[in-house]
Amino acid sequence: MSDKNWQGITRRDFVIKGTVATAGLAAASVLVPAQFAIGAQAKVKVGILLPYTGTYAKLGTNIRDAMMLRFAEDGNMLGGRPIEFVDIDSEAKPAKAQQLTNKLIKKENVDFLVGPVHSVVGMAMVKTARGDGPITVIPNAGANQLTGVLCAPNIFRTSFSSYQMGYPGGPAMVEDGHKRVVLMYWNYGFGKQVAAAFKESFLPAGGTIVKEIPTPFPKVDFQAYLTELAALKPDAVYTFYAGGGAVKFVKDFAAAGLKDSIKLYGAGFLTEGLGAAQGDAAEGVRTILHYADTLDNPANQRFRKAFKKTTGTNADVYAVQGYDAGELILRGMNAVKGDTGARAEMIHAMETAEIDSPRGKLRFSKSHNPIHDVYLREVVKGENRVVRVAAKAQDDPAEGCSM
Amino acid sequence: MSTLTRSLPLLAALLALVLFPLFGSSFYVGLVTRIIIIAIFAMSLDLLIGYTGLVSFGHAAFFGIGGYALAIAFQDASVIHLWQALPLSLFAAALAALVVGWVSIRTSGIYFIMITLALSQMFFYYFFESPRYGGDDGIFLFLKPVLMVGSEDILNLDHENNFYYFALSCLVLGYLFLVMILQAPFGKVIKAIKVNEHRVRALGYSTNGYKLVSFVIAGTLAGLAGFLEGAHTGYINPAYMSWHESGVCIAIVILGGVGTLYGPIVGAFIIVLLQNFLPEFTEHWQLLLGGIVIAVVLFLPRGATSLLPRIRSLIRMEKSISLSQEEKAKGDADG
Amino acid sequence: MELSFYLVQLLNAVQYGFLLFLVASGLTLLFGIMGIINLAHGSFYMLGSYLAYWLTGVTGNLWLGILLGLPITLMVGYLVERFAISFLYKRDHLYQVLLTFALILIFNELQQILWGSDVHSVAIPSLLAGSFQLTENQSYPVYRLFISAACIAIACGMYWVIQKTRLGMTIRAGASNREMVQALGINVNRLFAFVFSLGVALAGFAGMLAAPVDSVYPGMGENVLIISFVVVVIGGTGSIKGAFVGAMLIGLVSTFGKVLVPEMASVMVYALMAVILLWRPQGLFGRAA
């Protein structure tokens, strides 16, 4: 694949035409050279690959809307160039991921690639885009490998790695006084990684895993496992469930009368954005996440207000990740003043960015994974309220990354 | 003469496919490669549905196994030799088809549909839940298979066009192979089984043996398609084996024209292109896809390719009508 | 583990079996009586759940929701039968598979358009919201028992209708010899439309009943579909008794499979089906082909 194919304008095109234009138009043009590279309106193409159908549709929509909100706040200009979106429904189907990514890269020649939600789609996407593909920003998919073995200079993530969903949970539970813990999770890539990271911090902190109960993904029939849990009588249980599974688990857990004797903990998705569906059953459930709706910082308040105003719905962690993806792209493009050919400079600007995100301070590791605070939250009156910071500036080991 | 006219459109289509990479951009060459792979997959199912009368609802399992055999055996290899990898995939798919076929051909009708579905779900869940082979994350392959002569790679599959021609040759050879066995006595027997199994059995044929062989051949060809898909994308995961994929494969066969071999190839073009371009018009494109499939079932049960002879006979009819009119006119003039 | 643990698991298994039976009985009815393979059965289950969610929201009461929802499912069933299924009675199963597969795509999109992709839940009616203590730290929701009771009632009702009533007799006769029944002056078309709508309503009703204990989410029907097929095939198509035994077997195997061999829990159910079909290709209670 030649440079020319995927970039729209190449560095050389830009330099030649840009110089001519500058010479002709003098100082004013220096600020916005790219506009003169190809006519007056050289658009930056942002390819979006998110799910808008199926289980993850809500996540995809929120991520997209929040990112577009961030762009709109800056007048829909990236480094002085207008934006063109190429928006594709990933359907969260791994089997189609590579084909759709190829469509964005080879056919649409996008400058940036944003997506996906689903980890396995992410793997196929990153595998296609890493190296000389477009600058890619992952706004949700959590598989460790994306910024681990598959890491590359042009791959960024604004969400989290599954490691960061498990590791801070261990010490947090020990600190809360729960040492005999059952680990329950959906038995698939993400769930397994969360569980492994949890054990990595929980065991050295003095905890004991009474039993590990992996349940088949994406099945939501938990009754048999809850009976087993009741018989094991642990202090608490740490879980990984999301979406429909999380709603069902929290409700079944409460309905089985286990709330009084066993404390329920989990990775943030257990309760995130599910308040209405879970109702009272979720009261008192503690989770760890790098965001909470009630975070008391100006960036968060501003963002939540703006998001509500433009979309009519309440922001959640997915929206925050999309918003930060927009911010990161803006940082990169503004640093090179819209010159997508200045790839190295742009990547440098992005990896050193320090963002005042709604979630708090956000930086990036060497492998381009977020470094952020992780909060311990508790559901009180349907809201995820912050109990304390569970881990300050939580990093990710980026196993297998040689960057 | 008549065979020639009948194979003329096929040859023209083949010529178009051969010339395509000269005009198509890299994206479209990749897309058509994928279509060709799906076409091989669907064509193999046509052998079962269209010729043997076995409606398998678990065909995706063999596709997946072909891909998984490649991925499992070579995920850590420093070089993937085509002459090792391809036979391995074919063998694995054939073996799986032998086991599944042995169990399922004893049943018929709805039970056959359901047991093939159930067994393919077993494969699906095995790969999905077993921690051994990557679970739902699947397995990545960072290399393409190579065909070495000495130290020279004579078939560089890294190049999109080369892969395209490799897949196309597989399709053509697969097609010719199926045509050959269908014209052989074996083909006559399985076609007879489709029409009336009791009678064939009464004639002394072991029908189960024939059905099993047909099942294994179809499974092996599906494995070939899976191998190509795995090699092409460098990625294989359990979703390839899901019952949805089996369902789509049946849709492709029917849509193109069941019992024709070339119909499924046309069907693969239609479905993959629809899947590719419908989403550009509407977020709810599956609604349209579903509607199209229903329309085909209700109004065009012999598939899209059944239109061709109809059009041809229409033209012929018109020609003969105009001829007879001319004659009549001539007669009038004479008179 | 002590004995009480296994007893509670047994209760779980039976309860799951009952719910499976409710879905599968509709499926087996269509299978056996009309010779129709209906892949969209799971979609009707999903439809029921979403109707329960929607109508309970509107009326504020699950019972009212079910009361209003049932006629809707009946009507949807009737329309689907008239405009799609009825063309396929004389065609190969292949086309039924394909058509109902397309229906799944359509129903999924319609669900998306009508109700969006959020996860919803339905409140348990206050009358049945309680639970009772089972072991020292586990209690069992009354509503789950209610589901089982409702399933038993329906099973008995179906048995009575099919075995003892005139309607049941015509249905059975229509299945074994369509032409004969027609010759006797019974309108088979109308009969089949009725049976299909009934099957759809059964799936919808199962979805409505299950909505408070399950969550309501996109794609929920497909989880139920395949397992119901397994139930029907194990039991023998068309046999209500078979569906019942099959559902109980699957309930037991999947519940105890989860606890005893968690790694292979999902594979177990399909392995059971394969073994049973090897032994009896027509299912436990099916008539030999």
The predicted-structure confidence for B153-169, as pLDDT tens digits, reads as follows 788 888 889 999 999 99
Q: How much is the pLDDT for C288?
A: 58
The predicted model gives A267-277 an average pLDDT of: 89
The domain total for chain C is 1
Which residues have C-beta within 8 Å of that of residue B333, sequence separation ≥ 6?
none
Task: Express each pLDDT in B126-149 by its tens digit.
Answer: 898 777 888 877 888 878 888 888
Give the whole-number percent of chain C exceeding pLDDT 70.
98
Q: How many CB atoms lie within 10 A of CB A386?
A: 18
Over residues C154-179, mean pLDDT = 81
Nearest-Cα distance to chain A for C192, in Å, is 33
Residues in C touching B114 (Cβ below 8 Å):
229-230, 232-233
Task: Name the most confidently modeled range: A97-101, A262-266, B307-311.
Answer: A262-266
User: A231 and C5 in contact by Cβ < 8 A?
Assistant: yes
Contact between A365 and A395 under an 8 Å Cβ cutoff? The reply is yes
Higher pLDDT: B333 or A315? It is A315
Neighbours of C209 (CB within 10 A): 24
Distance CA A139, CA A162 (A): 13
Higher-scoring residue by pLDDT: A120, A185: A185
Rounded Cα gap, residues B323 and B333, in angstroms:
15
> Is A33 a residue whose pLDDT tops 50?
no
CB A374 within 8 A of CB A288: yes
- B132, with CB counted inside 10 A (0-12, 13-18, 19+), is exposed
What mean pLDDT comes out for the span C125-152?
A: 86
Are C16 and A255 within 8 A, CB to CB?
no
Give CA–CA dist B63/B56, Å, rounded. Answer: 13
Contact C262 A215 (CB under 8 A): yes
Q: Answer whether B286 sits within 8 Å of A53, measured CB to CB.
A: yes
Beta bridge partners of C255: none
Write out pLDDT tens, residues B221-246: 999 999 999 999 888 989 899 988 99
- Smallest CA–CA distance from B124 into chain C, residue: C267
SS3 of A279-340: the string is HHHHCCCEEEECCCCCCCCHHHHHHHHHHHHHHCCCCCHHHHHHHHHHHHHHHHHHHCCCCC
Structural domain span for residue C79: 3-125+136-279
pLDDT band for C116, please (50, 70, 90 cuts). confident
Model confidence at C247, in pLDDT bands (50, 70, 90)?
very high
Q: How far is CA A321 from the centre of its chain?
A: 5
Per-residue model confidence (pLDDT) at position A82? 94
Looking at A30-148, list the stretches that DSSP marks H as alpha helix, in order from N- to C-terminal side. Answer: 34-37, 57-73, 94-102, 119-129
C36 lies in some domain: yes
The pLDDT, as a whole number, for residue B301 is 86
Q: Which whole number is the average pLDDT over C173-190?
A: 77
Phi and psi at residue A39, in whole multiples of 5°? 55, -150
Q: Number of helices (H) and strands (E), helices first, in chain A?
A: 15, 15
Question: What's the rounded Cα separation, in Å, for the pair C193 and C21?
Answer: 22
Chain C residue with minimum CA distance to B49: C94
Cross-chain Cβ contact B135/A143 below 8 Å: no
CB within 8 Å: A187 and B233: no
**In angstroms, rounded to a whole number, what is the distance separating the alpha carbons of residues A160 and A324?**
12
And the tokens for A139? 């706004």
Rg (CA), chain C: 19
Measured in angstroms, the CA of A47 and the nearest CA of chain C are apart by 23
Is C289 a domain residue?
A: no
Q: What local confidence, expressed as pLDDT, does residue B327 receive?
A: 56
Distance, first Cα to last Cα, chain B: 38
C chain contacts of residue B257, beta-carbon cutoff 8 Å: none
Pick from A52, A127, A189: which is nearest to B235 by CB? A127
Mutate: best of C118, C126, C224, C226, partner A, most A CBs <10 A? C118
Chains that touch A (3 or more CB pairs under 8 A): B, C
Residue C77 has pLDDT above 90, yes or no: yes
Tell me how far apart the alpha carbons of residues C27 and C243 are, in angstroms, rounded to a whole number.
9
Distance CA(B218)–CA(B105), nearest Å, equals 14
| CATH code of the domain made up of A3-160+296-368 | 3.40.50.2300
CA pseudo-torsion sign A246, A250, A251, A253: positive
Q: Nearest CA to CA, how far is B127 from chain A (Å)?
A: 11
Report the b/e string of A333-363 with b at 16+ CB within 10 A.
bbbbbbbbbbbeebbebbbebebebbbbebe
* Residue C287, domain member (yes or no): no
**Is any Cβ of chain C less than 8 angstroms from the Cβ of A206?**
no
Tokens of A290: 């790098």
Q: Which has the closest alpha carbon to A326: A6, A35, A7, A73?
A: A73
Peptide bond before residue A218 is cis, with ω within 30 degrees of 0 = yes
Q: Is C24 domain-assigned?
A: yes
**Record: contact A107-B27, CB cut-off 8 A:** yes
Question: If you average pLDDT over residues A92-100, what whole number do you get?
Answer: 80
If you measure CA to CA, which chain A residue comes closest to B286? A53
Taking an 8 Å cut-off on Cβ atoms, the answer to whether C258 and A252 are in contact is no
**3-state secondary structure (DSSP) of residue B10:** helix
Contact A115, A125 (CB under 8 A): yes
A-C Cβ pairs (cutoff 8 Å, strict): 117
Are residues B239 and A217, on separate chains, in Cβ contact within 8 Å? no
Burial class (CB in 10 A: 0-12, 13-18, 19+), C114: exposed
Q: Is there a contact between C26 and C198 (Cβ–Cβ < 8 Å)?
A: yes
pLDDT reported for residue A253:
94
Which is more confident, A94 or C112?
C112
Residue A15 has pLDDT above 60, yes or no: no
Hey, what are A317's tokens?
Answer: 């962690």
Q: Do B267 and B253 meet the contact criterion of CB atoms below 8 Å apart?
A: yes
Domain membership flag for residue C288? no
Over residues A271-284, the mean pLDDT reads 89
Give yes or no for a cis peptide into A116 (omega within 30° of 0). yes
Average pLDDT, chain B: 88
Which CATH number, 3.30.1490.20, 3.50.50.60, 3.40.50.2300, 2.30.30.100, labels domain A164-289+375-394? 3.40.50.2300
Mutate to test the interface with C, among B49, B52, B54, B110 (most CBs of C within 10 A): B110
Do residues B57 and B245 touch, judged by C-beta distance below 8 A?
A: no
Contact between chains at A192 and B240 (C-beta distance less than 8 A): no
CA-to-CA distance for B133 and B152, rounded, in angstroms?
A: 32
**Is pLDDT above 80 for A350?**
yes
CATH 3.40.50.2300 domain span(s) along chain A:
3-160+296-368, 164-289+375-394
Residue A231: its chain C contacts at CB < 8 A?
Answer: 1-2, 4-5, 135
**Which of C39, C88, C95, C98 to mutate to probe the B interface, most B CBs <10 Å?**
C98
Residue A20 has pLDDT above 80, yes or no: no
Q: Do B290 and C104 touch (CB under 8 A)?
A: yes
Q: Name residues 299-358 of chain A within 8 A of B (Cβ).
A: none
* Identity of the residue in B129, B283, B284 whose CB atom sits nearest the CB atom of A187: B129
When scoring A223, A228, A269 by the number of chain C Cβ atoms within 10 A, the one with the most, hence best to mutate, is: A223
CATH number at residue C33: 1.10.3470
Q: Which residue from A minimizes the CA distance to C11?
A: A224
Mean pLDDT taken over chain A: 87
Nearest 5°: the CA angle C39, C43, C45 is 115
**Residue C273 counted as domain residue:** yes
CA distance A63 to B124: 31
**The token pair that represents A281 in the structure block:** 């059953």
Measured distance CA(C16)–CA(B294) in Å, rounded: 34
**What DSSP line would sit under C98-163, residue for residue?**
HHHHHHHHHHHHHHHHHH-S--B--PPPGGG--EEE-SSS-EEEHHHHHHHHHHHHHHHHHHHHHH
Residue A3 pLDDT > 70: no
Residues with Cβ within 8 Å of residue B238, at least 6 apart in sequence: B64, B124, B127, B128, B135, B136, B138
Segment C184-196, tens digit of pLDDT: 777 878 888 988 9
Given CA atoms A69, A134, A47, A368 in this order, what sign does their dihedral have?
A: negative
Contact call for residues C157 and C148 (beta carbons, < 8 A): no
**A216–chain B Cβ distance below 8 A for any pair:** yes
B26 to A5: CB separation less than 8 angstroms, yes or no: yes
Both tokens of A6, joined, read 């995927």
- How far is Cα A201 from Cα A15, in angstroms, rounded to an integer? 52
Residue B3: predicted pLDDT: 65
Token reading at B201: 């059995």
CA atoms within 13 A on the CB side of A300: 15
Per-residue pLDDT, A205: 94
Q: Report the pLDDT value the prediction gives residue C33, as an integer from 0 to 100.
A: 75
CA nearest C31 in B: which residue? Answer: B110
Nearest-neighbour CA in chain C from B79: distance (Å): 33
So what's the pLDDT on residue B324? 62
Give the chain A residue whose CA is nearest to the CA of B128.
Answer: A188
Asked if the C-beta of B192 comes within 8 angstroms of chain C's C-beta atoms, the answer is: no
Tell me: pLDDT of A348 over 50. yes
The two structure tokens encoding residue C128 = 């049945």
Asked if the C-beta of C258 comes within 8 angstroms of chain A's C-beta atoms, the answer is: yes
Q: How far is C271 from chain B (nearest CA, A)?
A: 7
The answer for residues whose C-beta is within 8 angstroms of residue C210's C-beta and 6 or more apart is: C19, C45, C49, C147
CA distance B317 to C217: 55
Q: Hey, is the C-beta of A123 within 8 angstroms of any chain B C-beta? A: yes
8 Å CB contact between A31 and A135? no
Q: With 60 as the cut, is the pLDDT of residue C46 above it? A: yes
Comparing CB atoms, the residue among A58, A226, A260 nearest residue C118 is A58
Mean pLDDT of B280-300: 86
Chains B, C: CB contacts within 8 A come to 125
Kindly state the helix (H) or strand (E) to which residue C10 belongs, with its residue range: helix C3-34
pLDDT recorded at residue B328: 55
Least CA distance to A225: which residue of chain C?
C259
Q: Residue C286 domain-assigned? A: no
In this structure, what DSSP letter does residue A159 have? Answer: S
Phi, then psi, of C200 in degrees rounded to 5:
-65, -45
> Which of chain A's residues have a Cβ under 8 Å away from the Cβ of C223?
218-220
pLDDT band at B329 (very low <50, low <70, confident <90, very high): low
Say which DSSP state C286 is in.
Answer: P
Return the closest-CA partner of residue B258 out of C91, C103, C36.
C91
Mean pLDDT of the region B168-180: 96
Distant-in-sequence, close-in-space partners of C201: CB < 8 Å, separation ≥ 6:
C26, C70, C73, C74, C77
Residue C199 is assigned to a structural domain of this protein:
yes
pLDDT number for residue A6: 38
Strand pairing class (A44-50; A81-89)? parallel
